[in-house]
Amino acid sequence: MPDIKQHEYSLLNEIAQDSLVTQAGLSSRLGIAVGSVNWYIKRLIHRGWIKVSHLDRTRLKYDLTPEGVAVFTQRALYYARDSLKIYGSLRERAKSLTVELKQQGINQAYIEGDDELVDILRLTCLESGIQLLDQPNGVILKAVGQEYRIINGSEKG
């Protein structure tokens, strides 16, 4: 896959959504300077990923070329593939943790945190029959980096 910077990908995405978007609009949506938008658009044109049409003297229309669509789609597919790998890995870690809990005779726990990693743990606990408590009372489960941890109520960390 050709090397594509995040701003280039974001520009391709915005142009795919609205081919009549202005550089000022792109600047506002992406939070980058208009001059940077202009530079990236020139780079995308040079790479053959977008083409520009003049609608009138002051209005431009941007269109993704077939090559631009291919690059955009490939990047999206790689992102989806990598996201699924990460999700699968986290699910396996969460399943291992629930097996460990069951082996220790633990059937209820409190989950600390509120993010995507914790959501995966929460789902896995529910599927394995671990009762989730509304307040800490003994065993606390939490995500630390990309790992899940069991913390006894007497510990803090």
Answer for the pair 153, 137: CB distance below 8 angstroms, yes or no: yes
Say which CATH topology domain 6-64 has: Arc Repressor Mutant, subunit A (1.10.10)
The more confident residue out of 109 and 114 is: 109
| Structure tokens that stand for 76 in this block | 């999206």
Helices (H) and strands (E) in the chain, counts: 5, 6
Q: Residues 6 or more apart from 88 whose CB is under 8 A from it? A: none
Where along the chain do its domains lie? 6-64, 87-152
The more confident residue out of 76 and 1 is: 76
d(CA 100, CA 56): 67
pLDDT band per the 50, 70, 90 thresholds, residue 137: confident
Q: What is the pTM of this model?
A: 0.59
| Structure tokens that stand for 123 in this block | 């789902």
Indicate whether 20 pLDDT > 90: yes
Mean pLDDT, rounded, for 37-60:
92
